[in-house]
Amino acid sequence: MNLLLLPKALQVLISEFNVEHRPLMRVLMDELNRYWILRIEKDKDCNNCLNDADKQYSKYILWSKYNFCGEWCRHDFEYHLRKSYRDYQKRKTLRG
């Protein structure tokens, strides 16, 4: 539907409520859509070795969700993540 054929008052009314008729909002919605598609695809990979992840090995570690392909990758990644977090906490307390 071509909005330019409608009276100006109707064009303004439509653009106030319908996101698809606002040109800048359409660009923003397309960008958000691309972001969520990338986010969904990222959740399918193992955080340790980048192979395909398995849902049964997903785990929240230090308030973030991580996906893994197997038990070894989960344990390896969790060990290094927790170790680096402990080191960070030690450095933070030493600085004052």
Report how far residue 68's alpha carbon sits from residue 52's, in angstroms, rounded to the nearest whole number: 8
Tens of pLDDT along 33-58?
888 887 777 778 888 887 888 888 88
Contact (CB, 8 A) for 32 and 40: no
- Which of the two residues, 22 and 67, has the higher pLDDT score? 67
Structure-token pair, residue 66: 């991580």
Is the domain of 50 the same as that of 35? Answer: no
Strands (E), 1-96: 54-61, 64-68
Is the domain of 19 the same as that of 3? Answer: yes
Give the model's pLDDT for residue 1.
Answer: 64
Is the domain of 15 the same as that of 50? Answer: no
Give the model's pLDDT for residue 79.
Answer: 92
Is the domain of 38 the same as that of 50? Answer: no
Is the domain of 62 the same as that of 36? Answer: no
Contact (CB, 8 A) for 46 and 52: yes
Report how far residue 92's alpha carbon sits from residue 65's, in angstroms, rounded to the nearest whole number: 24
- Bridge partners (DSSP) of residue 52 are 45
User: Does the pLDDT at position 18 exceed 70?
Assistant: no
Is the domain of 12 the same as that of 51? Answer: no
pTM of the model: 0.52
Give the model's pLDDT for residue 27.
Answer: 82
